[in-house]
Amino acid sequence: MNKEENILKDVVGIGNAMVDILAPADEAFLAKHNMPKGGMTLVESPQAAVIYEAMGPGVEMSGGSVGNTMAGLASLGGTGSYIGKVHNDQLGGIFHHDLESLGITFRTAPALDSSPTARCLVIVTPDGQRSMATYLGACVELGPEDVGADTIRNHRVTYLEGYLWDAPLAKEAMLKAAKLAHDAGRQVALTLSDPFCVDRHRESFRDLILNHVDILFANEQEIISLYREENVHAALERGRGDCNLVAVTRSAEGSLIATSDMVHQVNAVSVERVVDTTGAGDLYAAGFLFGITHGYDIATSGRIGAIAAGEIISHVGARPEADLQELVRRTL
Amino acid sequence: MNKEENILKDVVGIGNAMVDILAPADEAFLAKHNMPKGGMTLVESPQAAVIYEAMGPGVEMSGGSVGNTMAGLASLGGTGSYIGKVHNDQLGGIFHHDLESLGITFRTAPALDSSPTARCLVIVTPDGQRSMATYLGACVELGPEDVGADTIRNHRVTYLEGYLWDAPLAKEAMLKAAKLAHDAGRQVALTLSDPFCVDRHRESFRDLILNHVDILFANEQEIISLYREENVHAALERGRGDCNLVAVTRSAEGSLIATSDMVHQVNAVSVERVVDTTGAGDLYAAGFLFGITHGYDIATSGRIGAIAAGEIISHVGARPEADLQELVRRTL
């Protein structure tokens, strides 16, 4: 490593910056508000207001897929930055605080007079599953001007969220970031985010992956949907043809990580009680990216991902409660 | 009961409306920020900003002592209203939602161009104790004009928070409410809130209780401090001379409820694991007030208080997670 490589940070994440509002409700609530169970639905402001009014008392915490990953990376002892758009309001202040207080640099200029900070209304059904309605608010203002060339160059990996693809300006920001990263000899990672998101963008996601992505994160359902294959192994074959590294999470069955010449199988970390599975994929990505940016081999990086995912599913919420660095030290 | 009595609601609560922001930290953090352990400190906006910046990522949920009690009352199946001052901002919207969605009427006009909604920065130390720094913000604008005569008349009990006594206008609002309640033949209840609050206002609290309060809630430390007595029994003797009914909570030792001619001893409800004791007093008051407004005798009302308090200490946060009505039905 030369001197420049030494001062690089690990990961710069680009994502939809939002605050989660969690409340319990039954299946009838989901049906009434057209929220597919286990999925994420985009809603406009009036619909978000209707759903929120119908929800019981909530608990608020910072969220967003890549935001969760960056919080996990920091807890593991990694370094990084976040690019995302909040409004200059109280929820934006909370989101900003919750990353900066972990040491993640978050300097994207907030929107001043547009829509408020995004929120994700999270309905937790009695079976512990989460169904989400997201109002993107200020997120749709994230654009290429928010992606600084120096920031991208100064991080080993640029990590992108599939959800960004829903907003035209954010899409441009993603493409700009990917190009800057490759021009500087850095790596680009992408998470497919959500099966519904894959459904919305199948063709353009395939182009994006083929042309701009080195490391792809997906769960089984997402990658099968992306390539319209019969099973995860066939889909993984397709994926490894499109990029260097594909990591597929499979809940209790652990994960599969494919490179051009090998498929690693990594076991899940057993958890006393699965409380809330949301954030499992986000934290797996945190652990895996921490691993590969800290000199661990691919299988060990997957194992770190499994440890981080195991912590997140053992409590409510998608931000780590335990010190993940300590947990990895004890468990690895 | 005549027709008017039949349509009365149970309790109107008046309190400081705030959102809690909870984060873990160690004892050194408390020392550094002059936060007495287990207590509530009032801070101004700049100090609140310094503490918040030093805190790790947080979880937000509606709080406020009487706010917690009203949420508990609603969960028990009771009816009521809340009077308190938020700003017309996002945290104010969250606080409003979290009461109204439970069926508690909250119509106090929000402050429009003053300080933001109050927040309580809650530091949870490794031993599970909570230490709080409260920035009162918009709360200090609560005044007599926010207390409507019809609202007070339409509830059997007017329930006041000792914390309100810290703000001069809110103090006036409390006195107005107490007078309106008694003029209409209703009862007035008060919680002493916090031993530090008692220290700040000992003499004027005694006058308030003697002249305006029918039902007094306190914990052991608070009532001993109020009357500067050696032990809880001596303090209870003094209290029963000042008002009709004194309920003193004593953590694992349950509660003592004194009337002019009797002292009832109520056991605590045993809990598998005490996770977070905050809100125990607030929920005890919710159960007790529910009991006496629903025709239960005093000992049973204390028992309902103990059940509600037992639920709240078994999880993080001071708003109930379980359906308390169902819990009481099963446990009483």
Query: What would the pLDDT profile of B255-314 be if each residue is shown by its tens digit?
Result: 999 999 999 999 999 888 888 888 999 999 999 999 999 999 999 999 999 999 999 999
Read off the pTM: 0.94
The type of residue at A119 is R
Is the pLDDT score of B1 beyond 60?
Answer: no
Chain-chain contact of A71 with B61 (C-beta, under 8 angstroms): no
CB neighbour list of residue B120: distance below 8 Å, 6 or more residues apart: B18, B19, B20, B21, B40, B63, B64, B132, B133, B134, B135
User: How far apart, in whole angstroms, are the C-alpha atoms of residue A279 and residue B153?
Assistant: 49
Residues paired with residue B82 on neighbouring β-strands, in sequence order: B13, B106
State the pLDDT confidence band at B329, using cuts at 50, 70 and 90.
very high
pLDDT of the residue at A2: 54
Domain count of chain B? 1
Task: Give the full edge-to-edge strand order of the sheet including A155-161.
Answer: A105-106, A80-83, A9-14, A155-161, A187-191, A215-219, A245-249, A255-258, A263-266
pLDDT of the residue at A114: 80
Question: What's the alpha-carbon Rg for chain A, to the nearest Å?
Answer: 18
Tell me what percent of the residues of chain B surpass a pLDDT of 70: 98
Tell me if chain B has a CB within 8 Å of the CB of A230: no
Q: What is the pLDDT of residues A139-160, one digit of tens each?
A: 999 999 999 999 999 999 999 9
pLDDT of the residue at A311: 96
Question: Which one, of A114, A124, A121, lies nearest residue A49 by Cα?
Answer: A121
pLDDT of the residue at A157: 98
| CA of residue A17 relative to chain centroid, distance | 11
Is the pLDDT score of B190 beyond 70?
Answer: yes
The alpha-carbon gap from A95 to the nearest alpha carbon of chain B, in Å, equals 9
The type of residue at B182 is H
Residue of A nearest to B61 (CA): A59
Which DSSP string do the residues of A35-91 spell out, in sequence order? Answer: --TTSEEE--HHHHHHHHHHS-S-EEEE--HHHHHHHHHHHTT--EEEE---BSSHH
User: How far apart, in whole angstroms, are the C-alpha atoms of residue A246 and residue A332?
Assistant: 22
Chain-chain contact of B58 with A116 (C-beta, under 8 angstroms): no
Chain-chain contact of A71 with B57 (C-beta, under 8 angstroms): yes
Among the residue ranges A93-102, B155-164, B315-324, the one predicted with the least confidence is B315-324
Residues paired with residue B12 on neighbouring β-strands, in sequence order: B81, B158
User: How far apart, in whole angstroms, are the C-alpha atoms of residue A78 and residue A314?
Assistant: 22
Measured over the CA atoms of residue A45, residue A51, residue A53 and residue A59, the dihedral's sign is negative
pLDDT of the residue at B79: 98
Is the pLDDT score of B83 beyond 90?
Answer: yes
Q: What are the chain B neighbours of A116 within 8 Å (beta carbons)? A: 90
Which DSSP string do the residues of A284-299 spell out, in sequence order? Answer: HHHHHHHHHHTT--HH
Q: What are the chain A neighbours of B123 within 8 Å (beta carbons)? A: none
Count Cβ neighbours within 10 Å for each residue of B4-31 and write b for 16 or more, e otherwise: eeeebbbbbbbbbbbbbbbbbbeeebbe
pLDDT of the residue at A277: 83
Tell me if chain B has a CB within 8 Å of the CB of A91: yes
State the pLDDT confidence band at A332, using cuts at 50, 70 and 90.
confident
Label the pairing between strands B105-106 and B130-135: unpaired
The answer to whether position B56 is within a domain reads: no
**Over residues A274-289, mean pLDDT:** 92
pLDDT of the residue at A5: 60
B108 contacts B14 by C-beta, under 8 angstroms: no
pLDDT of the residue at A6: 64
Arithmetic mean of pLDDT over chain B? 95
Residue of A nearest to B320 (CA): A57
H/E segment holding residue A326 = helix A324-331
Q: What is the CATH number of the domain that holds B289?
A: 3.40.1190.20
CB neighbour list of residue B148: distance below 8 Å, 6 or more residues apart: none
The answer to whether position B132 is within a domain reads: no
Residues paired with residue B215 on neighbouring β-strands, in sequence order: B189, B245
Tell me if chain B has a CB within 8 Å of the CB of A103: no
pLDDT of the residue at A196: 85
Tell me what percent of the residues of chain A surpass a pLDDT of 90: 87
Is the pLDDT score of A1 beyond 70?
Answer: no
| CA of residue B204 relative to chain centroid, distance | 19
Residue with tokens 């001062």: A7
Tell me if chain A has a CB within 8 Å of the CB of B126: no
**Over residues B199-212, mean pLDDT:** 95
Q: Could you report how far apart the first and last alpha carbons of chain A are, in Å? A: 26
State the pLDDT confidence band at A120, using cuts at 50, 70 and 90.
very high
The type of residue at B322 is A
Tell me if chain B has a CB within 8 Å of the CB of A128: no
Residue of A nearest to B90 (CA): A90
Q: What is the pLDDT of residues B127-174, one digit of tens each?
A: 878 899 999 999 999 999 999 999 999 999 999 999 999 889 999 999
Q: What is the pLDDT of residues A241-279, one digit of tens each?
A: 999 999 999 999 999 999 999 999 999 998 888 888 889
Q: What is the pLDDT of residues B8-57, one digit of tens each?
A: 999 999 999 999 999 999 999 999 999 999 889 999 999 999 999 999 99
Residue of B nearest to A72 (CA): B57
The answer to whether position B296 is within a domain reads: yes
The alpha-carbon gap from B90 to the nearest alpha carbon of chain A, in Å, equals 6
Phi and psi at residue A133, to the nearest 5°: -120, 120
Range of the domain at A106: 3-331
Residue of B nearest to A102 (CA): B56
The alpha-carbon gap from A309 to the nearest alpha carbon of chain B, in Å, equals 19
Name the residue with higher pLDDT: B235 or B277: B235
Question: Which one, of A280, A249, A242, lies nearest residue A265 by Cα?
Answer: A249
State the pLDDT confidence band at A216, using cuts at 50, 70 and 90.
very high
In chain B, residues 39-68 whose CB comes closer than 8 Å to chain A: 52-53, 55-62
> In the A/B pair of chains, how many CB contacts fall below 8 A?
62
- Distance (Å) of CA B316 to CA A19, A98, B76, B136, B297: 20, 19, 19, 23, 31
Is the pLDDT score of B2 beyond 80?
Answer: no
